[in-house]
Amino acid sequence: MALANHKNYGMLNSVSRLFYFDKNQKGGEPMNRLESSRILTIPNILTMLRIALVPPLAMTMLDDGASEWLAFGIFVLAAVTDGLDGYIARKYKCASTFGRVFDPIADKILVGTALVILAMRGSAPLWMAGVIIAREAVMIVLSWIVKRQSRLVSVNALGKAKMIAQSLAIPLLIIASQHTVIAEVGYGLLLVAVLLTIASAVHYSITYFRMPRHA
């Protein structure tokens, strides 16, 4: 019985370490180091789920016979995973190289896909969608350059506010046909997201070019 209990404990410990729900390592050491080699962590699974939700979101939004509320639900679920993966990664000290690379990519794919389809349907102005998508493309290039130079530009409050505004605007625009007020609020939030998009891009660029260059 003791041997069986020991084996069960070892199995549970292995699983908990795999998913990073144990706050301490052997000997009570905090889990402060970056486990870049592990992929199957809860934050990474949430990131992969967000990417996996993009095709059904696109198909639902493009299907005139599909329920707008279904597309609304899919987008909200995907947006929730974006907040959860970052929270869990910070709380349980389980950030990884995979997450650092694919989390922002997942966000851009999700938002870009939704905005393109909304613009195609006439539910969002094309120029607004274009500004946000163009900014994301520029940010991908700048982020790649920063990482190549072994430098770091932290995400600023403007960027976070922009993400919140567009995450609220898109689901409202998905169900804009339900009521005029919903469409107007969604449009207003998307306009706020566009202004924050421009402001955050300018702030990021200024911060980057003011950083000291290494010889």
Q: Which two tokens stand for residue 114?
A: 């939704």
pLDDT given at position 28: 37
Quickly state the pLDDT bin for 89 (edges 50, 70, 90).
confident
**Which of 166, 173, 142, 168 minimizes the C-alpha distance to 155?**
142
Residue 10 has pLDDT above 90, yes or no: no
Query: Residue 118 carries which side chain, given as an amino acid letter?
Result: L
| Joined tokens for residue 75 | 């987008």
Q: Which whole number is the average pLDDT over 136-164?
A: 73
Q: What is the pTM of this model?
A: 0.75
pLDDT of residue 96: 79
Give the whole-angstrom CA distance, residue 165 versus residue 72: 16
Contacts of 44 (CB under 8 A, 6+ apart): 85, 96, 98, 99, 102
pLDDT > 90: what percent of the chain?
38
Which pLDDT score is estimated for 110?
94
Is the distance from CB of 154 to CB of 134 less than 8 angstroms?
A: no
Return d(Cα 185, Cα 161) in angstroms, integer. 16
State the fold for domain 37-210. Answer: Four Helix Bundle (Hemerythrin (Met), subunit A) (1.20.120)
C-beta separation of 208 from 142 below 8 A: yes
Residue showing tokens 């000290």: 93
Measure the CA–CA gap between 76 and 82, rounded to whole angstroms: 10
- Which stretch of 24-38, 49-63, 147-161, 200-214 has the lowest confidence by average pLDDT? 24-38
